[in-house]
Each structure stands twice: as C-alpha cells, then as structure tokens.
Amino acid sequence: MHIEWSTFWIQLIAFLILYVLLSKFAFGPLFGMMEKRRQLVKDQIQTAEASRKQADQLLEEQKQALQQMRKEAYDIIEQAKQTGSKQADDIVRAAGAEAARLKDEALKDIENEKNKAVAALRSQVGAMSVLIASKIIEKQIDEKSQEQLVEHYLKEVGGNV
C-alpha cells in the first residue's frame, strides 16, 4: 500500500476546513440545543423531586389532620359519655329527692288524718259517754257537770288511744 502524500494533505486540509465550518455553524447550535435539552431534563427532574417532596409533605399533613380529627371525635364521644352519666346521676338524685318529698308528704297526710280520726273519735266518745251517763243516772245533768264528765271520759279515752 502506497500513500499519496499530496492527496493526504488535501484531504487533511479539507477535513480541517469542514471541521471548523461544522463547529462554527453546526456543532455550536447542536451542542447548544443539547445543553438546553439537558437543562430542561434537569429542571424537570428537580421539579418532579420538588413535587414529590411537596406531595409527601401534604400526605403527612393529611395524616396529622386525620389523627387530630380522630382524637377530637374520641374526645367528643368521651365528653358525651360523661355528660350522659352526669345527667343520669342528676335524674336519679332528683327522683330520689322527689320520692323522699312524696314520702314525707304522705307521712304528714297520714298523721293529719290520724289526728282528725282521733279528734272525731274523741268527740263521738264524749257524746256517747254523756248519753250513756245520762241514761244511767236518768236524771238531768246540768251543763257544767256534763262538761266535767266529758273531760273525765276524754282523759280516760285519750289515755287508752
């Protein structure tokens, strides 16, 4: 194989001229576009990473908000239970007080009725004793004697009742 030096130098000069022309007019814009594309991809990756971090942060905030809402719901339920229990206790206390009041009133009514019955009985016993005494004695008793007799029988009957 034989190398022709004249052709070699012409080809070398043509290659260098072509290289200079390509680097000035083709490689510059091509590398510029490639750099822009690289920068665009880099920006998109950074944006995606930032979006992922923001999504993670929002997810964590939502988890915390959900946890807070669950806690508040639990607190509301517990408060409702306590309020219900307190109201039930209040109702039981009020019912007990009302029952005691009604019992006291009933006892007072019974005592009043007893006193009325005793008074009525004394009155009837007094009248009957005077009637019996007047029949036994078969004489007219004056008012003062009758009153003394009634008092005497009332004392006797009152002591027995």
Query: For the whole prediction, is pTM greater than 0.75?
Result: no
Q: Which residues contact 130 (CB under 8 A, 6 or more apart)?
A: 141, 146, 149, 150, 153
Q: Cα separation of 139 and 142, whole Å? A: 10
pLDDT band at 137 (very low <50, low <70, confident <90, very high): low
Per-residue pLDDT of 67-120, as tens digits, reads 999 999 999 999 999 999 999 999 999 999 999 999 999 999 999 999 888 888
Which residue is associated with the tokens 């719901």? Answer: 73
